[in-house]
Each structure stands twice: as structure tokens, then as C-alpha cells.
Structure 1
């Protein structure tokens, strides 16, 4: 479909986080070493939090109702959707760094999508909304990298 409301994209992104959480949880149970399992469990928890944050925007009474009902024209279905399908089915059981690289790729994808929506926004409120989501994802990427490095150093 070519035309979408912002709330459809937010709902899609929340589902993206839920699917990532499920995938990380599945990988954590696949016989990896303790550090990798802890890293994957941590990522699954972060993804569930991000999903909840996005779903909060969709609650009735959100301060963002006007932006969420804004329509936008995008000839593509939401960009980068195949990223989840490209995640490895198994993770290197010895490397927290490979887990981190996988997580950063998934997050950069969403951050790029939010930045793209901000650049093509039809109004200031929509632009500010997507700039905020992009900045939040940038902060999340830094948090994940920092926390995963701590796990690696532990």
C-alpha cells in the first residue's frame, strides 16, 4: 500500500521489536555459552521495553494523537522489513561481539527509517515526532553497546 498513517508505522515498529525479542530469546536457548546467553537475554528484555514504549504512543489519550493519524505517501512498504529474516538462525556461541553487531544492525535499520520519515515529513509535528524516535534509537544503540561491552569485560 502506498499511503499509510503514522500509527501504522509505529505499530509495525512495535511488532518489529516484539519479533526481535522473540528471536533473541530463541537464540539464548540454543546452547550458547553463558555470556552470549546473558547478552541475548538482555537484548530480548530491551526489545520488549522498546515495544512497550511504542505501544504507549498508540494508547488512547496519547499526546501524539494528531501526529499518529497523519497520512504519508511512501511508495515502499515500510523500508527494511526483511532485516529480521536476514538475522542468522544461530549465533556464534562464543562471541558477545557477534551478538552486538547483529543488534546494532537491527537498531540502525529502525533509526535510518525514522530519520528518513523525519526528512520527508509533511509537517513540523510529524518531523519532530520522527526526529525524537530517531534520537531515542541512537541513545538506545549507545546504551546497548555500552552494556554489552561491560558484559564482555566482566
Structure 2
């Protein structure tokens, strides 16, 4: 997907979370390790919620901001999902799954941070700041929750 506007960026992020949710759910029943299956189920549910949160940003954002072009800001490399969904998470252990998902979220955070730093329009900066805060909060929440699961 080519990202030209803030609307494209937010839609793209929503799709990324949705794709990851489906992929994790697809792999959950195929993983042989019980802790990994539980983790994949939890992460799939969480990514589904993230998809809905990002959709809420799409619905609430000002039309003027959503139509603003951002390609001047996009020197950032596209997010790399290290794996396509041909059941890769079914073969990973608990720690490797965590690493993959945390890395994925970190790339989104870095992208938002990069674009926010370059944004000139206050409304766009505010929108990106809100998206960034949500992504950071959810990444911390994931880290805490998976840490608790790791202790089990």
C-alpha cells in the first residue's frame, strides 16, 4: 500500500494490526508448546483490539488532517514483518514470539515518532502524538502481560 496521506497511514496501520491478529490466531492451534499457544491466542486478541483502536482514530480525526499529504515525511523504511503468515508463529517458542511481536510494535512506534517530529501542522502533530501514545502504551501493556505469562 502506498502511503500518501495521514488517512493512508492510519488505514495501513489498522491493516497491519488486523493482519497480525489473523496470523497469530491462525498459528495458535498449530504450535506444539502450550505456553506459546496461550501467548498466541492472547496476542491475536490484543492485535484485534489494536485494529479497533486505530479504526477509532480514523473515525474521529479531522477530515482536513486525514487528507494532508505526508509523503515528504516518509523517509522512514517500511515496517518489516519478519514473517509472512504461512504459519511461522506455529514453529516459534514463547520468547521468539514475544521478540517478533515487540519488534513489530517498535517499528510502528519509530515510524510514528519520525513522522511526528517532521510534521508542521499542529493538528497533524497532535494526531500523531495520540497514535504514538496509544502504540507506546499498548506495547508496554503487552510487555507486562507477556512478562507475567513468562513467569507461569
1:66 corresponds, among 60, 64, 67, to 64
Q: Deviations over 1:57-101 (max 9, x none)?
A: 223xx24333212222338597424x22x2275347573221111
CA change 1:58–1:3 in 2 (3 A) is closer
| Residue number in structure 2 paired with 1:123 | 121
Cα separation, 1, equivalents of 2:2 and 2:90? 39
| Residue number in structure 1 paired with 2:16 | 16
The two structures have a TM-score, normalised by structure 1, of 0.84
| Residue number in structure 2 paired with 1:43 | 43
Structure 1 unaligned spans of 5+ = none
Structure 2 unaligned spans of 5+ = none
| Residue number in structure 1 paired with 2:98 | 100
CA change 1:98–1:3 in 2 (3 A) is closer
The two structures have a TM-score, normalised by structure 2, of 0.85
| Residue number in structure 2 paired with 1:141 | 139
- Bigger drift between 65-74 and 36-45 goes to 65-74
- Bigger drift between 20-29 and 72-81 goes to 72-81
| Residue number in structure 2 paired with 1:55 | 55
Contact 1:36 1:93 (C-alpha < 8 Å) held by counterparts: no
Q: Which segments of structure 1 move beyond 4 Å, counting only runs of 4 or more?
A: 75-78
Shift in Å at residue 146 of structure 1? 0.6
The two structures, once aligned, show a CA RMSD in angstroms of 2.5
Cα separation, 1, equivalents of 2:123 and 2:92? 45
